[in-house]
């Protein structure tokens, strides 16, 4: 290679020109800048990351009151607020989190510094840290009380429960209608309890959070219901305990949940049963049927007896055309009483059965009158017992309350104390009568009551003159309009029935009939008219029937022989068709001697006893044709005629009975005020006849 050839490469590399060379000073400046920037950056980083003093106050978020004793954490560092709720921690970095805690409050936290979101915010962040380095950080925290929203529910149905008591050691609340409740300032690990009547207590531990569900398990009682008589299950029974209710199924079973009251078991036709609330989870209930049904028949031929009264003293019914009856609400250990006109009464104990059929023996009343003065142990009464034992007589009508208001038994009714006499004894009469199987009718005089009028002057029938009304034997009467008079007589009758009589027969159940009756008498009701008088008489009988019939007696009333014929109330308030709606027997006093001459076109009625009785009873039958519940039982004359002095022998007395029987009326009552009866008037005892 030549020298020229070897120099060529050097020549091809140009030397730096004046515009391309970097000045040294620039290089040094750049280095200086970089050094300074590094120093500034490092210093800024040191400032930014240097721990700063952090202080503030912790307050209650609800009350804004400072909270002493709150714990404040910054990383591993911790402080406790003083009495003013203040804290101070000597180091925090921007990335740190300041946390505060207090028992019963939800914890709160805040960042020590706000991190810059982009490069443009770094300078502000650095300046904030420079300020914090100089003055410290000021971070206030608020703590919200730990408020837990809870719901109490039924564990079986998941339905909310109102009124549940929820409590801790420090607080107690109750759930509202939606089952909601609120607990404040709970701390983890707090024991919570809940209680509701009808449910088992619930217990749980608070594990944190803002909601809480409590499920309470209801108590459960399984109920089985059976018929006490048959032992069979009873379906459809209403079973309840307060507002909780259910119904038994085909097996007689049901279950009640969450009960807080005694258990009521009810079904129509059975006695209701109450089972006291206990800890039992299963109960068996026997229901006693309280319905008794059956048929009443005639023992002789088995034919149904319609219209018979059937009762127990608390409930009653009347047999239908086929003789059937049904009683609801029959008490335990009751006696079924059956009364039918024309039949002997029957008393049948009801023992563990719902069906009671009754056969009745025929009974036709054939009775005589035992006056008040002879209702005791005396010659006349002893003679009557002898007559009863040898003849067809099977009933007696005994005076219990006399025409003067006297009583032949000792009454507990206050107004009746002075009315009791000692020479007449209902106890004795009933005892002797029952020995002879006699049907006992108690005659009770109602509104003719001299003794009651003396004790209660304000109840008297008065005259416009201001003097008390006196009848033809100077006896005072009490006002038939007065309910107090009704009550007095009904109270006496209840006592009389309790002594064992079979029938109550009302006499003088009317207004006065002699003297200045209509024009001069003054009553408590200023409207003394036919309508009001009839209402008074019927009102008394209606009330008496309603209160006495359930006691198992027949009810009857005596009326004048002309009331069947009369077209008005005869001034005494008696309309026999209306009265008889409240009677079992109507007893017209068809004594021939009481009829005036030419009554029924008979010149001398006592001389034609058959004719006058036949005539009078015919009118009664016409008036009572639409009153099927009542039976005619006439009073016949067994005493000498006083009106026309017609001699009365057995023939005249028997003629009256034939007239009654020819009218189709079975049964009779003979009256003799002296208790002297002709033995030949009566036939032999049918039971003793060959």
Question: Domain residue spans in the chain?
Answer: 59-144, 148-216, 220-287, 291-360, 366-446+482-507+531-595+608-638+655-679
Rounded Cα distance, 688 and 482, in Å: 49
Q: How far apart are CA 223 and CA 476, in angstroms?
A: 66
Checking if the pLDDT of 474 tops 50, the result is yes
Q: At 7, is the pLDDT very low, low, confident or very high (cuts 50, 70, 90)?
A: very low
Contact 613, 656 (CB under 8 A): yes
pLDDT at 11: 41
CATH of domain 291-360: 2.60.40.1120
Phi, psi of 251 (to 5 degrees): -90, 5
**Region 345-372: what's the mean pLDDT?**
95
Q: Is 90 exceeded by the pLDDT of residue 624? A: yes
Can 148-216 and 366-446+482-507+531-595+608-638+655-679 be said to share one CATH topology?
A: no
343 or 4, greater pLDDT: 343
Superfamily name with CATH number, domain 366-446+482-507+531-595+608-638+655-679: Glycosidases (3.20.20.80)
Give the pLDDT band (50/70/90) at residue 541: very high
Structure confidence by residue, pLDDT tens digits, 277-303: 998 999 999 999 999 999 999 999 999
| Between 690 and 650, the higher pLDDT residue | 650
Each residue of 315-350: pLDDT tens digit?
999 999 999 999 999 999 999 999 998 898 899 999
108 phi, psi to nearest 5 deg: -125, 150
The CATH number of domain 220-287, selected from 2.40.160.50, 2.60.40.1120, 2.40.340.10, 1.25.40.10:
2.60.40.1120
Quick check: 481 pLDDT over 70?
yes
At residue 5, the pLDDT reads: 41
pLDDT score of 22 more than 70: no
Tell me which of 7-16, 370-379, 561-570 is least confident. 7-16
pLDDT of residue 40: 52
- Name the residue with higher pLDDT: 570 or 145: 570
∠ CA 660-665-669 to the nearest 5 degrees? 70
Q: How far apart are CA 507 and CA 447, in angstroms?
A: 8
Dump pLDDT digits (tens) for 503-526: 999 999 999 998 767 789 999 999
Taking only the tens place, the pLDDT of each residue in 392-429 is 999 999 999 999 999 999 999 999 988 889 889 999 99
> Average pLDDT in the 77-102 region?
90
Report the C-alpha gap between 95 and 92 in whole angstroms: 8
Task: Return the pLDDT at 15.
Answer: 46
pLDDT at 387: 97
Q: Compute the average pLDDT of residues 29-40.
A: 60
pLDDT (0 to 100) of residue 558: 98
pLDDT tens profile 120-157: 666 766 676 777 677 888 889 999 888 899 999 999 99
Which of 117, 101, 120 has its CA nearest to residue 109? 101
CA distances 285 to 225, 226, 227, 252, 633, Å, are: 5, 6, 9, 10, 51
Taking residues 234-256, report their average pLDDT: 97
Determine the Cα angle at 229 with ends 223 and 231, to 5°: 45
pLDDT value at residue 3: 40
Q: What is the pLDDT of residue 114?
A: 74
- DSSP alpha helices (H): ranges in 572-672? 576-579, 609-623, 650-662
User: Binning pLDDT at 50, 70 and 90, where does residue 185 land?
Assistant: confident
Measured distance CA(136)–CA(89) in Å, rounded: 10
Whole-number Å distance between alpha carbons of 481 and 525 = 7
Is residue 41 scored above 80 in pLDDT?
Answer: no
Mean pLDDT of the chain: 91
CATH ID of 148-216, from 2.60.40.1120, 3.30.420.40, 3.40.50.720, 1.10.10.60 = 2.60.40.1120
Q: d(Cα 403, Cα 382) in Å, to the nearest integer?
A: 23
153 CB-contact burial (10 Å; exposed 0-12 / middle 13-18 / buried 19+): middle
Rounded to two decimals, the pTM is 0.68
Q: What pLDDT, on the 0 to 100 scale, is given for residue 26?
A: 67
The pLDDT assigned to 31 comes to 60
Tokens at residue 211, please? 């909601």
d(CA 543, CA 547): 6
| pLDDT score for 30 | 67
How far are the Cα atoms of 165, 584, 591, 611 from residue 662, in angstroms, in the given order?
A: 87, 21, 17, 11
Q: Which of 511, 515, 532, 536 is nearest to 465 (CA)?
A: 515
Architecture of domain 59-144: Sandwich (2.60)
**pLDDT of 571-594, one tens digit each?**
999 999 999 999 999 999 999 999
User: Which residue is associated with the tokens 């048929």?
Assistant: 295
CB-count exposure of residue 591 (10 Å: 0-12, 13-18, 19+)? buried
Indicate the pLDDT class of residue 49, thresholds 50, 70 and 90: low
**Cα(178)–Cα(452) distance, rounded to whole angstroms?**
70
Distance (Å, rounded) from C-alpha 430 to C-alpha 436? 10
Percent of the chain with pLDDT over 90: 78
* pLDDT at residue 688 is higher than 70: no
Give dist(CA 87, CA 539) in Å, integer: 97
Task: With beta carbons less than 8 A apart as the criterion, state whether 489 and 443 touch.
Answer: no
Instruction: Give the angle 127-131-134 at the CA atoms, nearest 5°.
Output: 140
Please give the pLDDT value at position 46.
63
The backbone torsions φ and ψ at residue 26, rounded to the nearest 5 degrees and listed phi first, read: -70, -40
């Amino acid at each position: 290679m030549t020298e020229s050839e070897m120099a060529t490469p050097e020549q091809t590399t140009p030397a730096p020109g004046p515009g391309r060379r970097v000045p040294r000073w620039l290089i040094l400046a750049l280095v200086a800048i970089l050094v300074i920037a590094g120093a500034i950056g490092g210093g800024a980083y040191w400032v930014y990351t240097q721990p700063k003093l952090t202080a503030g106050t912790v307050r209650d978020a609800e009350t804004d009151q400072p909270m002493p004793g709150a714990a404040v954490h910054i990383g591993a560092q911790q402080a406790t607020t003083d009495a003013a709720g203040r804290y101070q921690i000597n180091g925090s970095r921007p990335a740190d989190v300041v946390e505060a805690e207090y028992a019963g409050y939800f914890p709160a936290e805040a960042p020590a510094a706000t991190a810059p979101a982009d490069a443009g915010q770094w300078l502000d962040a650095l300046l904030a840290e420079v300020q914090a380095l100089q003055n410290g950080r000021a971070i206030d925290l608020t703590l919200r009380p730990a408020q837990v929203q809870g719901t109490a529910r039924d564990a079986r149905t998941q339905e909310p429960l109102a009124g549940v008591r929820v409590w801790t050691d420090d607080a107690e609340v109750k759930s509202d209608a939606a089952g909601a409740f609120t607990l404040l300032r709970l701390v983890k690990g707090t024991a919570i309890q809940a209680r509701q009547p009808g449910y088992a207590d619930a217990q749980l531990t608070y594990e944190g959070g803002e909601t809480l569900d409590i499920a309470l398990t209801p108590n459960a009682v399984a109920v089985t219901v059976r018929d006490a008589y048959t032992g069979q299950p009873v379906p459809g029974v209403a079973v309840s305990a307060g507002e909780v209710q259910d119904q038994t199924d085909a097996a007689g079973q049901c279950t009640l949940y969450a009960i807080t009251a005694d258990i009521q078991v009810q079904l129509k036709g059975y006695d209701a049963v109450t089972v006291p609330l206990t800890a039992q989870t299963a109960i068996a209930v026997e229901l006693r049927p309280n319905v008794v049904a059956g048929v009443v028949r005639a023992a002789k031929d088995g034919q149904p007896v319609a219209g018979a009264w059937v009762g127990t003293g608390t409930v009653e019914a009347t047999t239908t055309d086929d003789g059937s009856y049904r009683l609801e609400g029959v008490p335990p250990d009751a006696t079924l009483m059956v009364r039918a006109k024309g039949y002997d009464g029957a008393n049948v104990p009801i023992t563990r059965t719902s069906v009671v059929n009754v056969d009745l023996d025929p009974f036709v009343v054939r009775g005589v009158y035992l006056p008040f003065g002879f209702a005791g142990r005396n010659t006349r009464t002893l003679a009557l017992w002898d007559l009863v034992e040898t003849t067809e007589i099977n009933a007696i009508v005994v005076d219990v309350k006399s025409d003067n208001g006297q009583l032949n038994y000792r009454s507990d009714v206050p107004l009746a104390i002075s009315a009791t006499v000692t020479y007449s004894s209902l106890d004795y009469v009933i005892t002797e009568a029952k020995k002879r199987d006699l049907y006992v009718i108690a005659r009770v005089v109602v509104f003719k009551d001299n003794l009651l009028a003396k004790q209660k002057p304000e109840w008297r029938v008065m005259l416009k003159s201001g003097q008390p009304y006196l009848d033809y034997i100077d006896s005072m009467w009490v006002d038939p309009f007065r309910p107090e008079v009704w009550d007095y007589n009904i109270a006496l009758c209840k006592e009389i029935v309790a002594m064992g009589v079979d029938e109550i027969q009302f006499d003088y159940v009317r207004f006065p009939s002699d003297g200045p009756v209509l024009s001069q008498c003054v009553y408590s009701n200023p409207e003394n008219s036919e309508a009001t008088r009839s209402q008074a008489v019927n009102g008394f009988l209606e009330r008496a029937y309603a209160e006495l019939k359930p006691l198992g007696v027949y009810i009857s009333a005596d009326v004048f022989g002309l009331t069947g014929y009369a077209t008005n109330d005869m001034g005494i308030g008696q309309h026999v068709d209306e009265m008889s709606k409240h009677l079992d027997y109507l007893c017209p006093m068809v004594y021939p001697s009481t009829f005036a001459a030419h009554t029924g076109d008979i010149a001398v009625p006592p001389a034609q006893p058959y004719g006058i009785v036949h005539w009078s009873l015919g009118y009664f039958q016409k008036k009572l044709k639409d009153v099927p519940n009542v039976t005619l039982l006439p009073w016949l004359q067994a005493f000498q005629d006083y009106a026309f002095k017609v001699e009365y022998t057995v023939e005249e007395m028997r003629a009256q009975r034939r007239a009654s029987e020819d009218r189709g009326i079975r049964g009779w009552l003979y009256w003799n005020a002296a208790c002297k009866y002709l033995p030949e008037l009566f036939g032999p005892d049918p039971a003793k006849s060959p």
